Structure 1
Amino acid sequence: MSGLLLPTLSRKREVDSIIRDTLDKVLLLRFGRAADPLCLHLDDILSKSSREVSKFATIALVDIDAEEMRIYTKYFDITLIPSTVFFFNAHHMKMDSGTADHTKWVGSFHTKQDLIDVLEAIYRGAMKGKMIVSCPLPPERIPRFQLLFKDL
């Protein structure tokens, strides 16, 4: 229900455009499905936070079931949903959260404040020219998943 307040992208052209056109703000792309319970929880947090972070962040939802989105799910190795990817001025921003994968946030955030803290950290790091930032959250609030790497 809360996903209705946020733009939902289902075409490659839309995703390319928002990545290219979002300047001087963090772009958060949530890859997932509208019907998934964990995605619904994250979407609720995202929609409640979108107004507070609107000066330094833009939030959009990406439907991974759309045919054209397979290129992104493959490129970012999105196997678990929801997965959140961050950009700043069309550059992919990474975050060291103590997990094996720095390219995306896998899972939901526990609270609205956790999301705001992460977005602020990415924004501040990006403004200093960093491409990877440290996660500001304590380890117990970072979702842990057993990642399996294929074809290694």
Structure 2
Amino acid sequence: MSSFLLPLLTKKREVDTIIRDTLDNLLVLRFGRPQDPVCLHLDDILSKSSREISKFATIALVDIDAEEIQVYVKYFDITLIPSTIFFFNAHHMKMDSGSADHTKWIGSFHSKQDFIDVVEALFRGAMKGKMIVSCPLPPDRIPRFQLLFKDL
């Protein structure tokens, strides 16, 4: 696929730097594995969209298996991959997509346009000072997951 066009972050320092230094742009961080088929599908969508959204968004891939990245994996409670997390001016952006978890997008997008619509909605909300926005996609194009809890 064409994910080689996007930067791959494997160190905590790299993630900290890109979050801190991405100003006035939406930062899209995809947490996943480079060899996972769903991650490869999402990476293809991200790389094909990167040129169209380059004026208001930056995309980077984060290798979830890297040892230094485990701090972020625990902090954002990343148990399902791929998980996509959004930032604006070092602030975590959230999206209400009808699930209990507003902190991240779990799974892949159905199409390039779905991803662009989500990024535009987040960017517009961030420009208005909002930290959480409503998902612009219809419910049938939002991935749903059944979370099972053990030993509660």
Match of 2:73 in 1: 73
**1:29 Cα deviation after fit:** 0.1
Match of 2:108 in 1: 108
Give runs of ≥4 in structure 1 deviating > 6 Å.
Answer: none
Match of 1:91 in 2: 91
**1:147 Cα deviation after fit:** 2.2
Q: Alpha-carbon deviations, 1:43-89, whole Å to 9, x = none?
A: 00000000000000000000000000100000000000000000000
Q: Distance in 2 between matches of 1:24 and 1:42?
A: 24
TM-score (norm 2): 0.97
Would the alpha carbon gap of residues 128 and 150 (structure 1) be closer, same or farther in structure 2, given more than 3 Å must change? farther
Count of aligned residue pairs for this structure pair = 152
Unaligned runs of 5+ in 1: none
> 1:35-54 to 2 correspondence within 5 Å?
35-54=35-54
The one-letter amino acid of 2:101's match is: D
**1:2 Cα deviation after fit:** 1.4
The one-letter amino acid of 1:129's match is: G
Unaligned runs of 5+ in 2: none
Q: Distance in 1 between matches of 2:20 and 2:151?
A: 31
Q: The residue matched to 1:79 in structure 2 has which SS?
A: coil
Q: Distance in 1 between matches of 2:78 and 2:146?
A: 14
Q: Distance in 2 between matches of 1:151 and 1:89?
A: 38
Q: Percent identity?
A: 83
Q: The residue matched to 1:30 in structure 2 has which SS?
A: strand
RMSD: 1.1
Q: Alpha-carbon deviations, 1:91-126, whole Å to 9, x = none?
A: 000000001100000000000000000000000000
Match of 1:32 in 2: 32
Would the alpha carbon gap of residues 52 and 151 (structure 1) be closer, same or farther in structure 2, given more than 3 Å must change? farther
The one-letter amino acid of 2:61's match is: L
Match of 1:9 in 2: 9
**1:151 Cα deviation after fit:** 7.2
